[in-house]
Amino acid sequence: MNLTIEVPARDADFLDSEQPATLADMPELPEVETTRRGIAPHVTGRTIVALDVYERRLRWPVPRSLARRLSGQRIVGTDRRAKYLLIVL
């Protein structure tokens, strides 16, 4: 799944260098919190522009309407539950 947000030019380098994670890249809990803290200032306050789902069979099936429902939503923060990063709308 790929989440696209509006990004000011000054932050574009941060996002361009990121690669999608795979199951083999699943971090341990301290790394999840470090990642959350690292991405929070770059996504908080941004607006979701698009959502690309590469695999619909994730933990739960991803509804086809999700991209339409998320488009235009503002990200108000980030959180973590165990090994999962959460984007708070």
Which segments of 1-89 are extended strands (E)?
2-5, 48-52, 77-81, 84-88
Question: Catalytic residue among 18, 28, 55, 61, which?
Answer: 28
Residue tagged active-site, from 27, 33, 41, 63: 27
Tokens read off for 81 = 């539950």
* Residue 6: active-site member: no
Decide: helix, strand or coil at residue 52.
strand
Active site (annotated) includes residue 27: yes
The residues assigned a catalytic role are 27-28
